Amino acid sequence: MKITDLTNCPVEPMISPEHFLMDHTFLFLVKGSMRGFDGKTNVLLRNGECCMVVRNQLQRHSKIPVNGEFEKIIMPFSQEFLKEFSEKYKYDASFKNKNRSAFICLPKKGLLENYLQSLIPYYRGKSEIESKYLRIKSEELLLVLLEVKPELAMILFDFGDPEKIDLLTFMQKNYKFNVSLEYLAFLSGRSLSTFKRDFKLLYNQTPSRWLVQRRLEEAHFLLENKRRRPGALYLELGFENFSHFTQCFKKKYGYTPSSLAESGRMVSNETEKPKS
């Protein structure tokens, strides 16, 4: 486990690939801003703010550099580390996590603010912390987090796999994420075969086909009604690249997303013209 900082990021905002974290991760934003999305909730993190990113939740983020700079510090907590911590400090490890958000914002004040300042002397190279201090500082951070936000214990010390949840609600929340069916099955609390079987009963088609069609329907709505730009849309909806998005869109609707966006702009401009 190490602390990582990301510098030299592009000046333009950049949407990350989807993340599926196996470990709960503490994130502190040093420079710039960052938007996070977990399928339902949008979170804006500004410089100097911090949050927990919850494991076993789909999420993506977009970096927003300020004056060309973007830097974040992250510290993951492995399941092994958390189990040892719970035994040492007598935390109940039988919790059932009911949290459904990938981002938990934390108040950067008091103990937590002092802790973040204390990290500076331990940096080495590109924000790596010296290994002999790593476990001590990780344990200290966890003690501080539980003091500042005690309810984190319900999330951090739940060591079970995701439970089986309602598939309709799950898919409507997560269809925009470009992840494998294996991940979707796991997060819904199912084996891959059970996931496919339940999906077929619910939608009468395969998950892969449904995902593409659902994303295309959302794209058409946003292009036609919200005047969104195609080039800024395809990553948000889980398409791997713009070419794939365009091909699928034209196959379904008979015209390209760019032509729909252009016709929408023309109509909008005509309605704005003053009457003679």
| 219's tokens | 């794209």
Domain made up of 4-156: CATH architecture? Sandwich (2.60)
| 56's tokens | 């076993």
**C-alpha–C-alpha distance, residues 273 and 276, integer Å:** 9
- Domain 167-270: CATH superfamily, name plus number: Homeodomain-like (1.10.10.60)
pLDDT of 179-232, one tens digit each? 999 999 999 999 999 999 999 999 999 999 999 999 999 999 999 998 899 988
- In the block, tokens 């690249």 appear at 241
pLDDT of 107-157, one tens digit each? 878 899 999 888 777 765 455 667 788 888 899 999 999 999 999 999 999
pLDDT of residue 270 exceeding 70, the answer is no
Cβ atoms 160, 135 nearer than 8 A: no
- Count CB-CB contacts under 10 A for residue 266: 10
pLDDT of residue 2 exceeding 50, the answer is no
Amino acid 16: pLDDT: 65
Above pLDDT 70, what percent of the chain? 86
Cβ atoms 32, 64 nearer than 8 A: yes
Name the residue among 90, 13, 66, 17 with its Cα closest to residue 239: 17
The one-letter amino acid code at 128 reads E
**Domain locations in the chain as residue ranges:** 4-156, 167-270
Q: How far is CA 4 from the centre of its chain?
A: 18
| 201's tokens | 């009963």
pLDDT of 86-102, one tens digit each? 999 998 777 777 767 89
Point out which residues pair with 124 in neighbouring strands.
128
**C-alpha–C-alpha distance, residues 140 and 143, integer Å:** 5
